[in-house]
Structure 1
Amino acid sequence: MLTDLFNLFFPKTCAVCRENLISEEAVICTSCLHQLPLTNYHLYNENTVKKVFYGRVSVVNATSFLYFYKNSITQTLIHALKYKGVEEISAFLGSWYVEKLNETSWVTDIDAIVPVPLHKKRLRKRGYNQVEGFGKALATHFSLPYTNDVLIKTSATRTQVFKSRLARSNIQTHNFALKNKQKLAGKHILLVDDIVTTGATLETCANLLTEIPDVKISFATMAITI
């Protein structure tokens, strides 16, 4: 009763269109949900995401959930997640993607979920890592450890969103570091992030993670730019 009363005066709204959500809806309204452009890349190992990294880093599998392009519904959604404090979008997308990944078999080979990290200054400012809910949803469903204490961000680099593609590609390995390497030795890691644009961040993190003995790496992101 108290919940119903609260929702009456403070209704939950869609993270995209800001219309009020009905009781069966969560985070995104049904109309916006049906407009989100799904890639279905999880079904095809030789997909656009994997091709981004050909000749750059060895990847077992690579997938992205949504297409991202300028002025799109995906851009509005990711912007709300990263800059408007709508943290629950991350877990919502992760839980939804779990349904899609259940259609595949390659996920059963994964041993651990590792998020692309935020520097502690950025984490304090935003209050959360925007990929955490996404990664934890996958980890929980597939009964995998969510390992966020091995790959560490050491430099508070400026946000990538307003940089050119060339500037985005110039991400240095020294911006990241490894700790507790033994946790992931001999493991197949699923490295998760929000968006693939040039692939520079994932490439840098993956190349650093390959310093761990006998490690294998796959990628999963919320979206890929087109």
Structure 2
Amino acid sequence: MTTAIAGAFRDLAGLFLPRRCGGCGQGLRHFEHCLCSFCEADLPRTRFHDDPNNRVEVLFRGKAQLEAASAFLLFNPHGMVQHMLHRIKYQHDRQLGLELGRYMGEDLRRSERFATVDLLIPVPLHPRKEHMRGYNQSQLLVDGMRERWPVPEIGKGLVRVVRTPSQTRRNRLDRWLNVKEAFHLPEPEKLRGRHVLIVDDVVTTGATLEGCVAALRTVPDIRISVYAAACA
């Protein structure tokens, strides 16, 4: 009865403040959260997490020493995933970021290749950029992941000390030079001997994640994996 009443109340509230699907923009029903049932079913999941030859892992071979690498969704220009990521990054849809993180946590918590991860690190924004946006989208993903996959996180395991220009429309070399010395470890002793998972929103050339890995590689006995919400 209580559930039915709550659902009826959400339906009534939706008449005045309609909630919209983060994928297609259609109105959500009371039992739906950030995505409608159709968009949730149509999410282009990669199923990469247990495949050592997936495209994300292959991207980093010879460039970064990793335990494992994966992405949750396939990114297509002008598609649903791009629309979702734009809502999270530029339209302040924090709830969608948390919900996407929950899906990501469900994706990894059953994976044998990521089973030894014992620390999550979100890719940081420069403090000024984070202040302007009001949040770090990678931190939202980590917060959502931990609701489904209870792995500790260290929010300031990495800090961005150089405010780099946008990576959009840069080639791979330019992107790498853009982030080569952009990251700093404030407390490296907390990372020694750990298996850390770097979490980002999207991986294209991999340059940003390579910059993160290069900074973390200065820590003795560290193991590093990477995971993105989407890969292009």
Say if 2:112 is the partner of 1:66.
no
Aligned to 2:168: 161
Deviation at 1:172, TM superposition (A): 3.2
Deviation at 1:187, TM superposition (A): 0.3
Report if the CA contact (8 A) 2:50-2:112 is conserved: no
Aligned to 2:3: none
Q: CA RMSD in A?
A: 1.7
Report if the CA contact (8 A) 2:197-2:227 is conserved: yes
**Separation in 2, partners of 1:11, 1:43:** 39
- Tell me the TM-score normalized by structure 2: 0.90
Secondary structure at the counterpart of residue 217 of structure 1: strand
**Separation in 2, partners of 1:32, 1:174:** 39
Aligned to 1:122: 129
**Separation in 1, partners of 2:162, 2:27:** 40
Q: Among residues 169, 192, 210, which one is paired with 2:217 in the alignment?
A: 210
Alpha-carbon distance change, 140 to 28 in structure 1, aligned in 2, over 3 angstroms: closer
Unaligned runs of 5+ in 2: 1-5
Alignment of 1:93-104 (within 5 A): 93-104=100-111
**Separation in 2, partners of 1:222, 1:30:** 19
Query: Would you identify which runs of 4 or more consecutive aligned residues in structure 1 move more than 6 Å?
Result: none
Q: Among residues 138, 157, 162, which one is paired with 2:145 in the alignment?
A: 138
Secondary structure at the counterpart of residue 29 of structure 2: coil
**Separation in 2, partners of 1:127, 1:41:** 32
Say if 2:96 is the partner of 1:89.
yes
Secondary structure at the counterpart of residue 192 of structure 1: strand
Secondary structure at the counterpart of residue 99 of structure 2: helix
**Separation in 2, partners of 1:105, 1:35:** 25
Q: Among residues 184, 191, 208, which one is paired with 1:184 in the alignment?
A: 191
Q: Which moved more, 1:75-84 or 1:140-149?
A: 140-149
Say if 2:100 is the partner of 1:107.
no
Equivalent residue letter for 1:107: F
Deviation at 1:8, TM superposition (A): 2.6
Report if the CA contact (8 A) 2:106-2:145 is conserved: no
**Separation in 2, partners of 1:172, 1:120:** 15
Alignment of 1:164-175 (within 5 A): 164-175=171-182
**Separation in 1, partners of 2:167, 2:211:** 14
**Separation in 2, partners of 1:212, 1:140:** 28
**Separation in 1, partners of 2:82, 2:176:** 20
Q: Which moved more, 1:192-201 or 1:69-78?
A: 69-78
Report if the CA contact (8 A) 1:112-1:139 is conserved: no
- Tell me the TM-score normalized by structure 1: 0.92
Q: Which moved more, 1:174-183 or 1:27-36?
A: 27-36
Report if the CA contact (8 A) 1:116-1:191 is conserved: yes
Q: Percent identity?
A: 33
Equivalent residue letter for 1:102: R
Report if the CA contact (8 A) 2:139-2:155 is conserved: no
